[in-house]
A = this chain, B = another copy of it.
Amino acid sequence: MPPTDPGPVPAVLDPSSEVTALTAAICDVPSVSRDETALADAVEAALQGLGHLEVLRVDNTLVARTHLGRAERVVLAGHLDTVPISTFPGGATPNVPTRLVEGELWGRGTVDMKGGVAVMLRIAHLVPEPSRDLTFLFYECEEIEADLNGLARLGARRPELLAGDFAVLLEPTGAAIEGGCKGSLRVDVTTTGVAAHSARPWNGHNAIHDAAEVLSRLAGYRAATVTVDGLDYHEALQAVGIEGGIAGNVIPDRCVVRVNYRFAPDKSVDAAFEHVRGVFEGFECVLGDAVAGARPGLHLPAAQAFVAALGLPVGPKEGWTDVARFAELGIPAVNFGPGDPNLAHMDDERCPVVQYGRAEQALLRWLS
């Protein structure tokens, strides 16, 4: 009889270790979406080990809270999952575990967003008696379908655990402050023709040829820059897919152009869809996935205190992030975390390690 498999050795994270080393240790526990259990176990053990936090777990989402009776409660949030592991550039070596090369930490999660997770654990360790009550939220499944998102699911099932006056989402911002986020919607713009044999096209009508006008309007579209609460959001209207054709000898009777509109947070989803319908007037438009943006809310006292304490530049968030989920719950939120967002999800994902330290120091200034 073979010996019983003892199972994998649990990963151990030490919040007292230096922030770059802690980031590397977190990255080295793979946690692709839907496979976050090992990392959630390690983070839970580390939080429990600190002794001063109430720790709750729902699936692979963790909530750790102080209860000091402060006048304000602040939420620090970060997701535990990453997109799939790929390879380091120019080779077949997986980009987990990480590598430290000339002051940069390379590998999956170094930007999106295990540096932020490390900073959260460091703050939990360094500030047992923060100036504001703290809620640390570590959640699962941010990189995949919205209905699996740990933050969305907790907000729907136990919103009281997310209660707070202000939230900081530690998504990568290059360690600047990014307020709010743009909304996003997808619209299928469809042309309809009549199928026929391609040797006798005069018996039909080519739906792909009709899409020339759809693409021309897209290519000629000049996207607006919209100022909301003092920040400039750069809108975008782009084709993200096109599909048409039945067979190599058939005039296609249908062509679908999938369009993605990224819109400033001054617009509702309805208003944004109206705008897209106007652009493609005369064509059939069907709304697909849609999420509203979030206004930056930087005029709110909690946000102003944050900006003042950090003393860092403030800009708009161009991408959609889970700050919009906090906005839905009525909690103003900003993005602030180490890493260049342009390097998220890339094979060459990497972050100058000084950014991890600077993000930790900035939050310490605010919360000590």
Q: Contact at A198–B262, with CB atoms within 8 Å?
A: yes
* A198 in contact with B236 (CB, 8 Å): yes
Query: Shortest beta-carbon distance, A231 to chain B, in Å?
Result: 15
Report the Cα distance A236→B206, complex, angstroms. Answer: 12
Chain A contact patch, size range: 35 or more
Q: Which of these binds chain B: A90-98, A157-165, A251-259?
A: A251-259
Rounded to whole Å, the gap between the CB of A34 and the closest CB of chain B is: 18
Interface pair B252/A248, CB less than 8 Å apart: no
Provide the A79-96 mask, 1 if CB < 8 A to any CB of B, else 0: 000000000000000000
List residues of A (167-185) whose CB comes within 8 Å of B's CBs: 182, 184
Interchain CB contact (< 8 A) of A249 among B248, B250, B251, B260: B260
What B residues does A240 contact at CB under 8 A? Answer: 198, 208, 245-252
Measured between C-beta atoms, what is the minimum distance from A344 to chain B in Å? 8
A239 touches B252 (CB 8 A): yes
Would B318 and A208 count as touching, CB distance under 8 A?
no
Residues of B within 8 A of A51 (CB): none
B238 touches A201 (CB 8 A): yes
Which of A215, A216, A248 gathers the greatest number of chain B CB atoms within 10 Å? A215
Residue ID in chain B nearest A218 by CB atoms: B209
Count this chain's copies in the assembly: 2
A102 within 8 Å of B (CB atoms): no
By the criterion CB–CB under 8 Å, are A208 and B257 in contact?
yes
Q: Are A212 and B201 in contact (CB under 8 A)?
A: no
Task: Select A184's contact among B199, B212, B234, B244, beta carbons within 8 Å.
Answer: B199
Is the CB–CB distance between B199 and A318 below 8 Å? yes
Q: Would you call A319 an interface residue if the criterion is a C-beta within 8 Å of the partner chain's C-beta atoms?
A: yes
Instruction: Assess the A208–B247 pair: CB atoms within 8 A.
Output: no
Is A241 an interface residue, CB under 8 A from the partner? yes
Looking at A186, A245, A319, the one whose CB has the most chain B CB atoms below 10 A away is A245
Tell whether A342 is near chain B: CB-to-CB under 8 Å. yes
**Bound complex: CA of A61 vs CA of B36, how far in Å?**
61
A153 to chain B, nearest CB (A): 21
Q: Chain B residues near A255: list those with CB within 8 A.
A: 242
**Across the interface, do B244 and A197 meet the contact criterion of CB distance under 8 Å?**
no
A240-B197 Cα distance, complex, nearest whole Å: 10
Contacting pair A184 B249 (CB below 8 A): yes
Contacts of A288 in B (CB 8 A): 248
CB proximity to B under 8 Å, residues A190-224: 197-203, 206, 208-212, 215-216, 218-219
Output the nearest chain B residue to A212 by Cβ-Cβ distance. Answer: B215
CB distance from A234 to the nearest CB of B (A): 8
